[in-house]
Amino acid sequence: MPDASNRTLSAIDALHAQDPRSARQADGTALPQELAYAERMSAWLLKLERAPSALLQLAVRAQHLQRWKVPRGDYPEGRVGYLTWRRDQGLRAGGTVASLMREAGFDDASAERVSDMIAKKGLGRDPEVQTLEDCACLVFLENYFADFSRKVEHDHLVRIVQKTWRKMSAQAQTLALSIPMSPASAAIVEEALAAGQS
């Protein structure tokens, strides 16, 4: 359903474009932060999959849909609060995308499939959910890790890298090693991987 896919992608990006935050691009231009994230997700998808399904493309594009509307600070501090926030965000984004898909002409089964992928249902068993997770990990390492690493205590940061690495497929791990990083970021990744193998 190429027309339905295109209509849904346009609707997703229209919502992304409402993000009041902005992100500076490599060429110096600014985009709404969530739209920049979505474009990065789609770019990594095409490096991971030569011919991704239309449903996977929608799930990847919408993974953080309107996440800016419910800030992390609205939830309690700590791991439980973070996991609850992330779960709720996935369920909310999935529900929004499913509605957009039905409006564009998709059937209920397709809409539910994309919603389940965004909610990471089947992670570890479903190859398409794994690909979505790979995209998210690669986007984090390429675009957000350097800033993130300056805000997190060293040993905790090493553990986060190790957990991120374990979430990725072997293909994504190989791609991650090709990401240009600052010497400080590269050193953290090397330390995390060395510690994880010991």
For residue 137, what are the domain limits?
130-198
The residue with tokens 């690493």 is 149
For residues 108 and 53, state if they share a domain.
yes
Residue 83 lies in a domain: yes
Q: State whether 64 and 114 are in the same domain.
A: yes
Indicate whether 143 and 115 sit together in one domain.
no
Kindly give, in sequence order, each residue whose CB lies less than 8 Å from that of residue 89, ignoring residues fewer than 6 positions away: 64, 67, 70
Residues 88 and 2 occupy one common structural domain: yes
Supply the Cα-derived Rg of the chain in whole angstroms. 17
CB 58 within 8 A of CB 114: yes
Q: State CA 33 to chain mean position distance.
A: 13
Please name the residue that has the structure tokens 């600014």: 30
Beta strand pairing call for 22-24 and 30-32: antiparallel
Whole-model pTM over 0.85:
yes
CA distance 62 to 42: 10
Which of 119, 140, 170 is a domain's end point? 119
The verdict on 13 and 79 lying in the same domain is yes
Q: Please spell the DSSP secondary structure of 63-100, one letter per residue.
A: TTTTGGGS-GGGS-SHHHHHHHHHHHHHHHHHHHHHHH
Nearest 10 degrees: Cα torsion 23, 26, 27, 29:
0
pLDDT tens sequence for the chain (198 residues)? 679 999 999 999 999 999 999 988 778 888 999 999 999 999 999 999 999 999 999 999 999 999 999 999 999 998 899 999 999 999 999 999 999 999 999 999 999 999 999 999 998 899 999 999 999 999 999 999 988 888 888 888 899 999 999 999 999 999 999 999 999 899 999 999 998 664
Helices 54-61/127-139 angle, 10° precision: 40
Chosen domain end from 119, 146, 180? 119
Which of 94, 119, 144 terminates a domain? The answer is 119
The answer on 95 and 76 residing in a single domain is yes
Whether residue 43 is contained in a domain is answered as: yes
Same domain, 83 and 2: yes
Token representation of residue 149: 């690493």
Question: Do 80 and 149 belong together in one domain?
Answer: no
Would 125 be classed as within a structural domain? no
| In-domain check, residue 124 | no
Domain check: are 111 and 45 in the same one? yes
Is residue 56 located within the same domain as residue 113? yes
Is the domain of 157 the same as that of 103? no
Q: For residue 54, is it within any domain?
A: yes
Q: How far apart are alpha carbons 36 and 16 in whole angstroms?
A: 9
CA distance 91 to 142: 26
Look at residues 140, 194, 121, 137 and name the one whose alpha carbon lies nearest to residue 169.
Answer: 137
91 and 149 together in one domain: no
Query: Is 75 among the domain residues?
Result: yes
